[in-house]
Amino acid sequence: MKKKVVTYGEIMLRLATPGFLRFSQSQSLNATFGGGEANVAVSLANFGLTVDYITRLPSNDIAHACIMDLKRYGVGVENILKGGTRMGIYFLETGAVSRGSKVIYDREHSAIAQIEKGMIDWEKVFEGAGWFHWTGITPAISEGASQVCLEAIETANRMGITVSCDLNFRKNLWKYGKKAGEVMPALVAGTEIVLGNEEDAAMVLGVHPHGVDVTKGHVEAAAYESVSKQIMARFPRCKKVITTLRGSINANHNSWAGVLWDGSTLYESRQYQITHIVDRVGGGDSFMAGLIYGLLRYNNDQQALDFAVAASCLKHTIYGDFNLVSVEEVEKLMEGDESGRVAR
Name residues of the chain where pLDDT drops below 50. Answer: 214, 217
CA triple 321-107-187, angle to 5 deg: 80
pLDDT score of 183: 96
Q: Is 12 helix (H, G, I), strand (E, B) or coil?
A: strand
pLDDT score of 292: 98
**CATH architecture classification, 4-334:** 3-Layer(aba) Sandwich (3.40)
Contact 184/153 with Cβ under 8 angstroms? no
Contacts of 332 (CB under 8 A, 6+ apart): none
Distance CA 57, CA 43 (A): 21
Nearest Cα neighbor of 256 from 229, 292, 228, 283 is 283
Nearest Cα neighbor of 201 from 256, 152, 154, 238 is 238
Contacts of 52 (CB under 8 A, 6+ apart): 4, 5, 6, 7, 41, 75, 76, 78, 79, 125, 129
pLDDT digits (tens, 9 = 90+) for 234-251: 999 999 999 988 889 999
pLDDT score of 49: 97
Going from N- to C-terminal start, the domains of the chain cover 4-334
Distance CA 208, CA 204 (A): 10
Contact 269/236 with Cβ under 8 angstroms? no
Question: 115 exposed, middle or buried (CB, 10 Å; 0-12, 13-18, 19+)?
Answer: buried
Handedness of CA 269, 256, 74, 118 (dihedral sign): positive
